[in-house]
Amino acid sequence: MRKTIFLLLAIAVLALPAAGKKPKSVNETNENPFLTEYKTKYNIPPFDKIKYEHYLPALEQGIAQHNQEIEMIASARQTPTFENTVLALDNSGEVFNKVCLVFMALNESDATPEMQKIAEKFLPMMTAHNDEIYMNDGLFSRIKMVYNNADQMGLDNVQKRLVEKYYKKFVRKGALLTPEQKAELMQINQREAELELAFGKNVMHEMSENVIYVTDASQLSGLSQEVIDGAAELAKQRGHEGWAFTASAATRLAVLNDADNRELREKMYKMYTSTASHGDEWDNSKNINEILKLRQRKANLLGFETYADYACDAVMAKTVENAEDLLMQIWRPAIKKVDEEVADMQRYANAHGADFQLEPWDYYYYANKVKAERYSFSEDEIRPYFELNSVVQNGIFYVANKLYGITFTEIKDAPKYNPEVTVYDVKDANGKHLAVFMTDYFPRPTKAQGAWMSVFNTSYNYNGVVERPIVYNVGSFNPPTKDTPSLLSIDQVETVFHEFGHALHGMLTQVAYRGLEGTNIDRDMVEMPSQINEHWMLVPEVLRNYARHYKTGEVIPQALVDKLIESSKFNQGFMTTELVGAALLDIEWHKINWCGDIDVKAFERSVAKRLHMPKIIEYRYRSPYFKHIFNSEEYSCGYYTYLWAQVLEADGWERFQEEGPMNVNVANDYRRYILEAGDSEDPMELYKKFRGREPDASALLRLRGLE
C-alpha cells in the first residue's frame, strides 16, 4: 500500500516571512528544527532534534508563511504566466510541507499518546489551510487564465500537464462554488478530517488492546517457536502468565495459518473481524455513517450525483460503471474458483478426521494443509530461507542493481526517527546520488498496521536547482528473537517487494516539477509499479540469490524453488475474492444517496448476498477497520484501483516474460516510461509507450489462473 501524503503543494525553495508579522531571526527559530534549514546530509530531517512541542508552532508559522506566498501570487499585477503563477504555487510552502511530511509519517509509525493529542489540533489546521488555498478566488482566476491560454504561451507538454492538473484539482476542491457553498464545503472537510482521525484512533486502539491470552501450552500446537516466543514476550510485557496474541498482521496470520487448535483460530478470527465494531467507545459505526453523509453532500455540492461518481471521474476509470465492469469480470471466475478450493479443503478435512463444515477461521489452516499435500512443502520448511536482511540486500537491492544499475549504501550516522530504521544512500550507475531510502520493518505498539511507502522530501529539477527525494518503506514483519533473526513468510516477502516497487517509483523519478514527480499520479496507475515488482520475488535467479538458510547459508534447493513457482497460483480464488469483495463494498458504500443512518453489519451482509459472496470468505477489510477508505479520502471509492493496476501489472509483466525478466533493455523502457515519468503524461499513454499497445484485461485472469 502506498501512503503518499496528498498535500496541496510540495516543499518550497524559499519561504517568505509571515504576513503582518516580523520575520523571525535565526536565533529565534533555531530551537525549532522545522524553522531553519536542515544541516544534515541530503537534508534528512534531524529527527534527534525534533520534539513534540515543535510541531504545532512550526505548523502555525508554516501556514502563515505559506499564506503570504499565496497572497503574493494571487494579487500580483503582472499578467499570469506559468512561472509567476503555476510554478510559483508548485514551489511554495516550504515550512508547511516540512512539518506536515514529518508529522504525518511519525503519526502513523509512532503514534504515541503525545502524537495523538497533537494530531487532534494538527490535522484540522492542515485541512483548513488546504481548503483556504483551493478556494482562493484570486489564485484560481490566475491559474484559470494560464490554463485557458496555455497554447498561446508556448508551454511544453509537461508544463501544460502541470497547469491542467492544478486547474482540475482546484475545480474538484470547490473553486467554482459560490461563497456560501465554499463555506459549507470547508465545514464538511473540517468535520470529515476529525472523523477520519477518530476512525483511525479507534482501529489502532483495538489492534493493540484486544488480546487473546493462552495459558495452556497444548493450545499452541502447530505454531512456530518464533511465534510462540514472541507471544510469551508480549504476555510478559503485559504482566500476564503464558502467551498473548494480538490481531496484528504477522501474529494473526500465523495463528490462522498454523494453529492446530480450532478454538484459538476461531477466537483470533472473531477478534480481528469485530475490530472497532462493538461497544460504544471504540465502535466506528457512527463515524462511518457521518463520514459517508459528508462525502455525499460534498459530491452534490461539486455537481455529482454520488460520491462514487465524484471519485471515479478524476482517475483512469472515469465512471463507476467502468470500475464495476472491471471488477465483475474478475469476480465471477474468482468465486467459481473458490468453490473448487473449498471442496478440496473439505475433502482434506474429512479425510483427516474433521466432523464439521469448514468455517472462515478454518480457511487459511486447511488451505495450507492442501498446499503442503499438493506441493509437498510448508511455510515452516521455507521460512528459514527468507531472512529479512537477505531479502532486502540480496533480493530487492539485487534486482534494482541488475535492472537499473543503482546501488544502496547504508548511512550509519544518518538521523533516524526510530532506532529500528535503516538509512541508505541510493546512487545511480554513474555514481550520482539518486535518493535516500529508509526502511522500518518491525511492529511497535504505536505503529499502524500494514505496510506502506511515503516520502520525507520530494524531487525537483528546474533551472539548475536539483533536489532528490527521501523515500521510506514501513512494514510490520516478524521481529528477531534472542535465537533467530527476522524470518518471513512468503506473503511477507511479497510485501517487501511490493512496497519497494513504490519506493523505486519515488526514487527514480526525473520529472522537473514537484506536482508531477514520483508517485504523485492517479491511484489506478500508482499501484502498478508496486505490484509488478512482486514478480521478481519468484524469478529463479533472484530467488536463489536471496533465499539462503539463515543458519547454514545454503541456497534454497531447486526442488523448493520449483514448488514455490508451481504453487504461486494456488488459492488465487480466495485471495482475489476477498480483494474484489472489499473493492465492491467500497463502491457500494459510496453509491448511496444518504437519508438516514445505516446498520453497518446489515449493509455488509446485503452486499455479500447480492454478490453471491462465498460464506467462507470475509471482505479483506470489514468496514469498521477499512482504513484505506475511512481513515482518509486517499482510496475512498478507490480501493478497486488495486485491481485496475493489476491489469496493467499482469499485462506489463507479460512483456518481461516474453523478453526475459532480467532483460536490461526492457527494464530501461520500464524505467523511462513508468518509474521516471511520474505524472508527466497521461498514464495510459505512458503505459502504451512501455508496452506498445493498450493493456489486455484477460492478462490478469491468466496471471491468477482464473481463466
Task: Determine the pLDDT at residue 22.
Answer: 34
Do 221 and 165 share a structural domain?
no
**Within 10 A of 616 (CB to CB), how many other CB atoms are there?**
20
Give the pLDDT confidence of 294-305 residue by residue, as tens digits. Answer: 999 999 999 999
Q: Clarify whether residues 42 and 168 are in a common domain.
A: yes
Q: Which residues are catalytic?
A: 499
Q: Is residue 74 domain-shared with residue 124, that is, in the same domain?
A: yes
Q: Which ranges of 352-469 does DSSP label H, i.e. alpha helix?
A: 360-375, 379-382, 388-391, 397-404
Whether residue 154 sits in one domain with residue 56: yes
55 inside domain: yes
Q: Tell whether 166 is covered by a domain.
A: yes
| Domain assignment present for 202 | no
Per the domain annotation, does 308 fall within a domain? no
Cα dist from 585 to 276, 319, 393, 607, 640, whole Å? 18, 16, 39, 7, 10
pLDDT digits (tens, 9 = 90+) for 564-589: 888 888 999 999 999 999 999 999 99
Same domain for 226 and 164?
A: no
Name the residue with higher pLDDT: 3 or 586.
586
Whether the predicted pLDDT of 3 surpasses 80: no
Same domain, 121 and 250: no
Tell me, yes or no, whether 227 and 172 share the same domain. no
Domain co-membership, 30 together with 171: yes
End residue of a domain, out of 229, 245, 273: 273
Residue 460 within a domain: no
Residue 536 confidence (pLDDT) above 60: yes
Buried b (16+ CB within 10 A) or exposed e, 221-235: ebbbebbbbbbbebb
**Residue ending a domain, choose from 231, 252, 273:** 273
Is the Cβ–Cβ distance between 276 and 625 less than 8 Å? yes
Amino acid at residue number 266: E
Residue 306 lies in a domain: no
Boundary (domain end) residue, out of 273, 291, 317: 273
Rounded to 5, what percent of the chain is helix, strand, coil? 60, 5, 35
> Whole-angstrom distance between the N-terminal and C-terminal Cα of the chain?
27
Q: Looking at the structure, do residues 104 and 236 belong to the same domain, yes or no?
A: no
- Tell me, yes or no, whether 170 and 38 share the same domain: yes
Same domain, yes or no, for 247 and 138? no
Q: What residue numbers bound the domain in which 250 lies?
A: 210-273
pTM recorded for the entire structure: 0.86
Flag whether 578 is in a domain. Answer: no
The CATH number given to whatever domain includes residue 37 is: 1.10.1370.40
The pLDDT tens digits for 468-481 are 999 999 999 989 98
**Number of domains the chain contains:** 2
In a domain, 637, yes or no: no
Confidence of residue 2 (pLDDT cuts 50, 70, 90): low
Which pLDDT value is given to residue 5? 39
Same domain, yes or no: 266 and 159: no
Identity at 444, one-letter amino acid code? R
Q: pLDDT digit string (tens) for 390-437?
A: 999 999 999 999 999 999 999 999 999 999 999 999 999 999 999 999
